[in-house]
Structure 1
C-alpha cells in the first residue's frame, strides 16, 4: 500500500470518476436505447483497465491471477464471433447454472451482482489505502470470491460454447 496521503486521494478520485462515468455511460445507453458494438467494446476495455489499475495498486500477491482471469473473460467476450442478436450478458442471464443466471439477471441490477461488484473494487482499494480495519475485509472478501468465481464460470461457459460451435454475441 501507499502511505502518501496525496496518492491515496488521487487514487480515490480516479477510481470514483471511473465508476461514475461507467454508471453514467450504462444509464444513458439504456435510457436512450442507443448501444453500439464500439461502445460496448469501449466500455468493456475501460472496465478491464480500471480493474487492472486497482489490482496493481493493491500490490496484493494474487492480483496478477485476478487480472489474468478478468482479461481472459473480457477478451473471450469481445472476440467470439458475432452470430446472434443478443449480448453475452443476456445469454448468461437466460442459460446455464442458476446462480449465474441470477447474477446477470435484470442487467446485473440485483443484490448478488451489486454486492460482488462493489466488493471487487473495495477489497483491492482497501489494500492500497492500507486500511487496517478487519471488518472491511470480512465484508468484501465473500463478494470478491463471488465476482471472481462468476468470471471463471463465464470463461468455462464461453469455452464450452466455442467447442460446441456456438457463440456468444455482442460484447457488453
Structure 2
C-alpha cells in the first residue's frame, strides 16, 4: 500500500489491512482453512485458558525442626565448598594462606558431615515423636465397611438362632 491509500481509508483497522494483505499474499499453510475462516470472522472457539493450573502439593512440607536443620546443613556445606576452593586456589598461587585454609577445609568437612547426619537424625526423631498420619484410602474404607456389615449380619443371625433355641425350638418366629 502506498501513502495515498493510507490517507484514503484511515478508519480501516490494522487487522483489516493485514487480512487484506494476506488475501493477496500466500495463505498461512500451518493454520487449517476452517480455523482461518473462524479467526477472520472474529469468533473464538475455545474459552480463556490460563497458562498453568495450580495443583496441590503431593508431599507435605518439611516440619520446622527438620527444615531448620536442613537450612543449617546447606549453609555449612556451601561455606565448606567455598573454603575448599579458596584452599585450592591458594595452593596453586603458593600463598602462605594455603595451609590454614586446607586445615579449615578439613574441619569444615567434618562439621558438614555432622550437619547432614543432624538433618537425618532430626527427621527420624520427628517422625518417631509425631508419627506419620496415615489416612486409609477410600477402597480400604469401603472394604472395612463391608466386612463390618457382614459381621453384624452374622451376629444378628446367631442371636436369632439362640432366641429360637431358648423358646424350645418350636420354629415359631412370631410371638403368638
More helix by share: 1
Higher RCO (Cα < 8 Å, 6 or more apart)? 1
Q: TM-score range by the shorter chain?
A: under 0.3
Instruction: Please give the TM-score of this superposition, normalised by the length of structure 2.
Output: 0.26
